[in-house]
Each structure stands twice: as structure tokens, then as C-alpha cells.
A and B are shown apart, each in its own frame.
Chain A
């Protein structure tokens, strides 16, 4: 409907000046594991989407950690090294000193209105729908 845009992206700390792409993330993940003794952690709510995306991108040495809210704060809290989260302007990520990887756009989404083709609709509901459509301009 042209509003409510939100993208699922991968973001890393702004201080990672050497990380500009998924290839960099893959290399850094392998190095991180070697230097820190555990896998690089990516905090997210969207496990399946992120896992599939990273597999296709050839990024292997990471571990997803579950986060059901305030995902962007996990890096500052030391419970993750990077995040995969929904953002529309990137403002919250920036406020948490994170930057979006340009080639790590996992999913693009926007507000969408769905209507059942089969449900019975009475006159009052029809009127409500018409009013809603007029308000939304769709």
C-alpha cells in the first residue's frame, strides 16, 4: 500500500571499518572464531530467513542467537556481534552504533491489506470496507 516499508537487513558495528560486504562478514566470522574461541553471533527473531540467506551467500561460521525484542541493543550488551533485524530508516540501528551491510538486504516488505474472497460480507461490513478503502486511498 506504499507505506510501512520495512527491510530485514544484517547490521554490524560501525567500528568494523573492514566489513563492507557479505564476503567480508564471512572472512571476519572465520577469523572471529579462531581468535575468540566461539562463533560470531548474530541476534535475530527471523531465524529461517536469515539462515537461508546466509547459506545462499556462503557465510558459514556464525551462530544465530534468539532475540525477541531490542535486538539492536544485543551488540552493546555483548550478547551478539551482529544483528539481523527489521528497519525502515536505519535510525535505530545508527543510534546503536550499527551499520547496514549494503548487500545484506534479506527481505523487503511493506504494509499490505488482505481481503478474503470467500468470507460472507453483510451490508454493514461492506460499508466499513468502503470507508476503509477511501481512508487508505486504495
Chain B
């Protein structure tokens, strides 16, 4: 995506007049965010503007991955199809398939596990591979009993070394209700 006209105009102005002049013209500076902070971001924006856009086919595949919502075997198959356009994806799809085998070995039918991209804050799930949920087909109105996924990007933002991070949550109130033999 090319930079917005406003942003392009800003970058042109900074290039022509220098950042200090542009900030001086804007008015009195306040707050803790410093000129160095702003200069750093301008640098990021310029690098961004100079980066050529990714190829159309690649963008289509990324869009398809981000909107993928299916049970695990189905999701895996569709990801496998996408490796035709994006061979770099192959290893990740192999790992996806291996995890499904592990689930099967543990006595869980992967076909009963829905899979979707996490819908949390966009910044945090940029490399979150997938999240799986165990929901009950009989009660689609209720949230899943358990959800989990990869949180590599989140842990990196929180300051951890890049590590494969796995997380999950079990909703205790739903487990309690199910054990009690029904949900309100």
C-alpha cells in the first residue's frame, strides 16, 4: 500500500525543510514524547514508503490465511493448497499437520476442533500461527470451553527472547456448568 497523501506530503516536507523546522512550525512542544522519538518514527515511515509493495499473489495468500476459519483438517488442507503460491509456507504447514497427528494420538479428533486466526490486538498476533478452540457443536451460542495458540509475537513485545510460545485458557465456569449437567 503506498503512503497516504498526508503522509507522503509530510515526508516530502521533512525532506525539504528538515524535521526540526517542521516541528517548530507546528507549534509549542509538550509532553514526554521527544523530538528523537518523532525523528525515529519519521525514519521508519520513510523506509516503509521506500519499500516496494509485496506481490499481488502473495498479498492474496496472506489475506486468505488471515481470514481462514475451519476445522483443523480442512484448515490444514487449504493451507497446503496455498503453498503453491507461497512455498515458504510449506514447513509451517508440515508442523501444523504434525500437531494434528499428535492430537489424534492423544485421542482427540482434529475434525472437531475449529481453527481460526486469533482476533486479538492486530499488533500482537502478527506471527501467531493459529488458535484452536474446543467448542460444543450442540451449543454454538456459547464461547469455546478452551482456547489456545501461539504467542510468539506477544512474548517478544513483552520483552522475551524470540521463543516458540504456547498458551491456552480453559473457562472454569463452563467446565463447572457442563459437569453439573447443563448450562444456564
What residues make up the interface of A, taking CB atoms closer than 8 Å to B? 13-18, 20-21, 26-28, 30-32, 35-36, 58, 60-61, 75-76, 78, 80-82, 96-98
Contacts of B122 in A (CB 8 A): 58, 60
Contacts of B35 in A (CB 8 A): 15
How many residues does chain B have at the interface if contact means C-beta atoms less than 8 Å apart?
29
Closest chain B residue, CB of each to CB of A73? B30
| A16 B124 Cβ-Cβ under 8 A | no
Bitwise, B29-52 to A at CB < 8 A (1) or not (0) is: 111110101101110110000000
Contacts of A31 in B (CB 8 A): 37, 40-41, 44
Closest chain A residue, CB of each to CB of B34? A35
| A17 B38 Cβ-Cβ under 8 A | yes
* Cα A76 to Cα B31 with chains together (Å): 6
| A15 B29 Cβ-Cβ under 8 A | yes
CB proximity of B17 to chain A, nearest CB, Å: 11
CB proximity of B19 to chain A, nearest CB, Å: 8
Once A31-B37, A31-B40, A60-B124 are accepted as A-B contacts, the answer to whether A17 and B31 lie under 8 Å apart by CB is: no
